[in-house]
Amino acid sequence: MKTQDSRNERLERLAERWLSGAATDAEERELRDSLRTAEALPPSLEEYRLLFEGLGALSQERMPRTVDAAAFSSEGRPPQAVMRSGERPTLRRRLVGWSSALAAAAAVAIGIYIGVDRLREPYCYIDGVAIYDREVAMQATAYFDSFAALDAPTRLVDELLETE
């Protein structure tokens, strides 16, 4: 039992070093191999076993080399293989690449324009319409006359208070 506890303590220390990024390659290999071959582990080390199993499964995944012909070829041609290094792209591929880049740039520009327009705060509202230009708002002085009627009762109350 003593050896099992000491082995678990060693694995705990290795796991802590691995999490902090201080473990060497040899220590990481020892931790991974020990977790894979151990039969009974405490719950804290079981989590590490699952983590290393998942990382091992992810490391086995690879990008496919070809594209599905049925999904992308309307003419029934077999798909082209992924370009090898040093191979020059065809004119069609270059045009598709440029048109995709231009479409993406246009979408970003339109998004920025719409976003800026919606984030602007209006200077005021006249008849329920947002006015963004200060000069247009200041030229609408005819609307200020209606506020004079609101000031009259206040003056009357002030005059009554002064006379009393």
Domain extents in the chain = 2-59, 124-163
In this prediction, residue 84 carries a pLDDT of: 54
CA–CA gap between residue 41 and residue 50 (Å, rounded)? 12
Q: What is the mean pLDDT of each run of 10 residues along the chain (164 residues)?
A: 78 88 88 84 84 82 61 50 59 79 88 74 80 79 67 73 74
Question: Which residue carries 């991974």 as its tokens?
Answer: 32
In this prediction, residue 81 carries a pLDDT of: 47
CA–CA gap between residue 23 and residue 51 (Å, rounded)? 16
Alpha helices in the chain (DSSP H): 2-20, 25-37, 43-59, 69-72, 91-119, 134-139, 145-163
In this prediction, residue 54 carries a pLDDT of: 83
In this prediction, residue 23 carries a pLDDT of: 87
In this prediction, residue 147 carries a pLDDT of: 67
The crossing angle, in degrees rounded to 10, of helices 2-20 and 25-37 is 130
In this prediction, residue 78 carries a pLDDT of: 47
Do 116 and 109 contact (CB within 8 A), yes or no? no
In this prediction, residue 118 carries a pLDDT of: 67
